[in-house]
């Protein structure tokens, strides 16, 4: 944090513009559950590369497909994709999340290493999990486009702008905003789901904001990236008096 000392007299208009530019602020975005789906398209592209390098040509009717000879890729991808769907929609608190994910992945990899999936799938002779190169590329690209649109576009249509003395809910489309006085605001961060918040979310979490005054409100902001750093920046911002914010250049990187 730094302060600006002005030794020269500037025009009133220039001073007002400079003051507005110097007001520190933080933009707080709440992301959708698609935030946690990045491993799905990432692993899909990795398996597409493995299929392109190690795959074998298989004729299906009049079409020639490139398929990886091992069933393990299809089994792992199916199990992992199902796991992402379940764990991003069902909250597992504390160590329960860690135990569930480690147990499922352990037995999936163990069965693949021992070759037991061949015998398990042999119980249903017409059910084998083989995915060709086209599936990996098309499905991973579709998930990536949906993830990118949600993360970079739709999730940023509504956000919280926090400045010294004021917290405002702003909407890019449709206009309108709602402001709150930061005096007496209470922020609580929650990272109850270890797998979703810490592993998939890379340090994300949920924020619970409680306002003060006659009309108290409880505001829930889910899926905030780097929640620990954001809360620290918010605490620094609300500690600044609005009259002192004109001299502050920056209080952290908005995000």
The predicted pLDDT at position 107 comes to 78
1 lies in some domain: no
Residues 219 and 147 in one domain: no
Using pLDDT thresholds of 50, 70 and 90, give the confidence band for residue 95: low
CB-CB contact of 29 with 224 (8 Å):
yes
- Cα(94)–Cα(194) distance, integer angstroms: 6
Q: 177 to each of 132, 159, 223, 245, how far by Cα in Å?
A: 49, 10, 21, 22
Residues 89 and 146 in one domain: yes
- Cα(246)–Cα(3) distance, integer angstroms: 9
The predicted pLDDT at position 114 comes to 78
25 lies in some domain: no
Task: Count other Cβ atoms within 10 Å, centred on residue 62.
Answer: 5
Residues 141 and 101 in one domain: yes
User: What pLDDT, in 10s, does the model give residues 53-76?
Assistant: 999 999 888 889 999 988 778 888
22 lies in some domain: no
Over residues 127-144, the mean pLDDT reads 91
Using pLDDT thresholds of 50, 70 and 90, give the confidence band for residue 1: very low
3 lies in some domain: no
- As given in the structure block, the two tokens for residue 55 are 């795959």
187 lies in some domain: yes
User: What pLDDT, in 10s, does the model give residues 167-215?
Assistant: 898 888 876 678 888 887 888 888 777 778 888 888 898 999 888 766 7
pTM: 0.74
Q: 22 or 49, which is more confident?
A: 49
Measure CA of the first residue to CA of the last residue in the chain; give whole Å: 17
Beta strands in 61-113 (DSSP E): 63-67
Residues 90 and 128 in one domain: yes
Residues 161 and 148 in one domain: no
Q: 234 or 17, which is more confident?
A: 234
Using pLDDT thresholds of 50, 70 and 90, give the confidence band for residue 240: confident
163 lies in some domain: yes
Q: 235 or 5, which is more confident?
A: 235
15 lies in some domain: no
Residues 89 and 38 in one domain: yes
| Residue 225: domain span | 157-247
7 lies in some domain: no
CB-CB contact of 66 with 51 (8 Å):
yes
- Cα(156)–Cα(30) distance, integer angstroms: 8
Residues 133 and 40 in one domain: yes
Q: Which helix (H) or strand (E) holds 14?
A: helix 12-22
Residues 215 and 142 in one domain: no
Domain boundary among 118, 152, 186: 152
Residues 187 and 136 in one domain: no
Residues 243 and 180 in one domain: yes
Q: 54 or 10, which is more confident?
A: 54
Q: How many domains does the chain have?
A: 2
The predicted pLDDT at position 16 comes to 45
Residues 101 and 173 in one domain: no
- Cα(215)–Cα(23) distance, integer angstroms: 27
Domain boundary among 110, 137, 152: 152
Residues with Cβ within 8 Å of 34's Cβ and at least 6 positions away in sequence, in order, are 146, 147, 150, 151
Of 218, 188, 185, nearest in space to 205 by CA: 188
CB-CB contact of 88 with 196 (8 Å):
yes
pLDDT at 94 over 60: no
pLDDT at 18 over 90: no
Domain boundary among 92, 120, 152: 152
- DSSP code at position 60: E
Instruction: For residue 161, give the CATH number of its domain.
Output: 2.30.29
Paired strand residues for 159: 29, 170
Residues 143 and 39 in one domain: yes
pLDDT at 9 over 80: no
- Cα(13)–Cα(33) distance, integer angstroms: 45
How many residues are present in the chain? 255
pLDDT at 109 over 90: no
């Amino acid at each position: 944090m730094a302060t600006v000392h002005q030794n020269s007299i500037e025009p009133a208009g220039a001073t007002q513009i400079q003051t507005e530019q110097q007001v520190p602020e933080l933009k707080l975005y709440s992301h959708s559950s698609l935030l946690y789906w990045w491993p799905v398209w990432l692993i899909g592209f990795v398996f597409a590369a493995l299929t392109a390098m190690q795959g074998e040509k298989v004729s299906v009717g009049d079409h020639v497909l490139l398929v990886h000879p091992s069933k393990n890729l299809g089994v792992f991808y199916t199990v992992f994709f199902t796991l992402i769907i379940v764990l991003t929609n069902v909250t597992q608190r504390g160590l329960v999340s860690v135990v569930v994910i480690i147990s499922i992945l352990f037995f999936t990899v163990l069965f693949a290493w021992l070759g037991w999936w061949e015998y398990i799938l042999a119980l249903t002779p017409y059910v084998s999990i083989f995915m060709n190169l086209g599936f990996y590329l098309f499905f991973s690209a579709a998930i990536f486009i949906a993830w990118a649109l949600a993360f970079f576009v739709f999730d940023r249509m509504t956000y919280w702008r926090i400045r010294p003395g004021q917290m405002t809910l702003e909407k890019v489309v449709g206009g309108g905003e709602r402001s709150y006085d930061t005096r007496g605001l209470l922020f609580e961060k929650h990272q109850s789901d270890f797998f979703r918040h810490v592993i998939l979310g890379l340090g994300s979490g949920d924020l619970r904001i409680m306002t003060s005054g006659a009309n108290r409100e409880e505001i829930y902001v889910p899926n905030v990236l780097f929640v620990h750093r954001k809360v620290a920046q918010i605490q620094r911002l609300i500690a600044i008096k609005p009259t002192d914010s004109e001299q502050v250049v920056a209080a952290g990187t908005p995000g």
